[in-house]
Amino acid sequence: MGAKPRKCITTWKASTEAIPRDLPPSRRFSLLIIDEDENIRWLLQKKFAQLDFDVDVTSDKESMIKYLEKRAYTAIILDTMFDDGLLFPADCQERHVAQEVDWFRYGIIGQSDLMQRLYHRTSQIAHSDAGVLLTGESGTGKELFARAIHQLSPRSENPFLAINCAAISPTLMEAELFGCRKGAFTDSKHDRKGFFEVCSQGTLMLDEIGEMPVELQAKLLRVLQEHEVIPVGSCTRVQVNTRVIAVTNCNLEEMVRLGKFRKDLYYRLAIVKLTCPPLRAIKSDLEALVGYFFKKYNCEFKKTVKFPDAETIARLKAYDWPGNIRELQNAVERGILFAENDRVAVEDLLPALSSFDEAEFPATGDIRGESHEQEIIPSSASKAVKSVWKEVLREMPLHYLEAKKCFEKQYLEFLLGETRGVIAQAAEVSGQYRPNLYRMIKKYAIDVDAFKL
């Protein structure tokens, strides 16, 4: 018995005249050919190249996926090793690429049309070094997509750092980003690399980029253009090769209009702009997200809480989730934590339905805008607090700067007393960076050892 004939491809191998010569040229047409037969690959590549096509060839499904992730093709030719030989256009490729990438691996869940389009765009730009601006409301998973871009890129074996610009003191931000040399600051006792140098050959995510001081934005722009940094206290330029992914939940276009963000930097960062959709726009993905979080927190809390019934899911979908996926995650965590008899109460999943906060801790006004007569702090206690505070103020200088110094010193002494002189703990509870605390401690000549046990 003879071998089964190869569909489509066999015809072209037997007669090159069967190749359609009326297809557009490569300036409008790119082609990917996948065939296990080396001779067929060579023949088709040669013939389509003669017709001025832009042709890539490969022999297996794994390398095919890599090609699809790198670029978009107008058409793809497959041989019979993948069922029937076929030729399909680029509008089918979007769905194909989105399905081939394992987004669950990156903690990203969703099959809605909006998410599929976002997956496709992310796959397209991951293999380039183009600047990316990730926008979207808080809690929509922007950092997860930033990490996915890094992992899908050729830089995946190199460092990825996520930096929150709002959490760094403006006076220290330049040194943190670009590095500093010994003696640049009072406590700078050795050279230190900045985030750009640490992430060279890798990816640096700048979260809350809108919080970066305007005066530093010009320096960032130069780094992005010249691929070099000048550490604080140095005149020597250091070459860096760092991909930057900027993240924000602000309207940067409006900030540009108001003069709060540089227009040239905005266009440099937003070569590719991706927007993570809010949860209310992808309600069809909510059930899958709930399932993922139920499995996660059942495992974490060593429980076996059952998945919510259809009625509960419907009520969850009816809620707008202003905090987006992060709010949903927190709701599931809370629901499983308080669940009894392997069932979760809808009141624990939906903060808006919970009467706990409203009953025991009234707000300043109800939904009709009427004031609550009940005070959270009794009048007698409130008067006592005000009386003590007045005494504290009387002991402070009237001049604002002097009063500020007085308060800072008293606050530091109180903070060190509560943390028993442990600077790391004091920095954590106060929300300050350790260099800031050391600087203030030195400024007010406070003896840290006196607070240690």
Task: Please give the average per-residue pLDDT across 25-38, as a whole number.
Answer: 64
Instruction: Band the pLDDT of 39: cuts 50, 70, 90.
Output: low
Residue 275 vs residue 94, higher pLDDT: 275
Length of the chain: 453
Please say if the pLDDT value at position 373 is more than 80. Answer: no
Per-residue pLDDT tens over the stretch 117-149: 999 999 889 988 888 999 999 999 999 999 999
- Determine the pLDDT at residue 227: 92
Decide whether 9-100 matches 280-360 in CATH topology: no
Superfamily classification of domain 103-277 = P-loop containing nucleotide triphosphate hydrolases (3.40.50.300)
* Distance in angstroms (rounded) separating the CA atoms of residues 140 and 278: 6
* Distance in angstroms (rounded) separating the CA atoms of residues 426 and 422: 6
Residue 417 sits at the vertex; the CA angle it makes with 414 and 421, to the nearest 5 degrees, is 125
- Which run of H or of E encompasses 246? strand 243-248
* Distance in angstroms (rounded) separating the CA atoms of residues 153 and 319: 37
* Distance in angstroms (rounded) separating the CA atoms of residues 181 and 193: 8
Per-residue pLDDT tens over the stretch 298-330: 888 888 888 888 888 999 998 889 889 999 999
- Determine the pLDDT at residue 82: 39
* Distance in angstroms (rounded) separating the CA atoms of residues 377 and 265: 49
* Distance in angstroms (rounded) separating the CA atoms of residues 444 and 414: 13
Per-residue pLDDT tens over the stretch 377-418: 344 445 555 555 556 666 666 666 677 777 788 888 888 888
Percent of the chain residues past pLDDT 70, beyond the cut: 72
- Determine the pLDDT at residue 27: 41
Residue 145 sits at the vertex; the CA angle it makes with 139 and 149, to the nearest 5 degrees, is 165
Across 5-14, 340-349, 352-361, least confident range: 5-14
Contact between 74 and 23 under an 8 Å Cβ cutoff? The reply is no
Task: Please give the average per-residue pLDDT across 30-47, as a whole number.
Answer: 72
CATH of 392-451, one of 2.40.50, 1.10.3470, 1.20.120, 1.10.10: 1.10.10
- Determine the pLDDT at residue 261: 94
Q: How is residue 373 written in tokens?
A: 């007569």
- Determine the pLDDT at residue 44: 74
Q: How is residue 439 written in tokens?
A: 């600087």
- For the chain, the first-to-last Cα distance in angstroms comes to 90
Residue 91: how many CB atoms within 10 A of its CB? 8
- CA nearest to 279, candidates 138, 416, 150: 138
Taking the domains of the chain in order of start, what are their residue ranges? 9-100, 103-277, 280-360, 392-451
Q: How is residue 382 written in tokens?
A: 């409130």
Task: Please give the average per-residue pLDDT across 291-298, as a whole number.
Answer: 89
Q: How is residue 426 written in tokens?
A: 């004091």
Using left for φ > 0, alpha for ψ between -120 and 50, and beta otherwise, residue 85 falls in beta
Please say if the pLDDT value at position 289 is more than 50. Answer: yes
Residues 6 or more apart whose CB falls under 8 angstroms from that of 245 comprise: 131, 132, 133, 134, 146, 149, 150, 203, 204, 205, 206
Q: 330 vs 147, 164, 313, 333, 336, CA distance in Å?
A: 21, 21, 16, 5, 10
Q: How is residue 421 written in tokens?
A: 């002189």
- Structural fold of domain 280-360: Helicase, Ruva Protein; domain 3 (1.10.8)
* Distance in angstroms (rounded) separating the CA atoms of residues 379 and 307: 46
CATH class of 9-100: alpha beta
Q: How is residue 118 written in tokens?
A: 């976002």
Q: 392 vs 302, 334, 397, 410, CA distance in Å?
A: 50, 40, 11, 11
Q: What is the SS3 string spanning 336-398?
A: HHHCECCECCHHHHCHHHCCHHHHHCCCCECCCCCECCCCCCCHHHHHHHHHHHHHHHHHCCC
* Distance in angstroms (rounded) separating the CA atoms of residues 69 and 281: 26
> H-type helices in 162-208, by residue range?
170-178, 195-198
Q: How is residue 9 written in tokens?
A: 């491809």
Instruction: Let me know if 73 is exposed, middle or buried by CB neighbors in 10 A (0-12, 13-18, 19+).
Output: buried
- Determine the pLDDT at residue 400: 63
Contact between 204 and 195 under an 8 Å Cβ cutoff? The reply is yes
Q: How is residue 17 written in tokens?
A: 């005249």
Q: Which residue has the tokens 């959490």?
A: 167
- Determine the pLDDT at residue 87: 40
* Distance in angstroms (rounded) separating the CA atoms of residues 160 and 180: 21
Contact between 244 and 131 under an 8 Å Cβ cutoff? The reply is yes
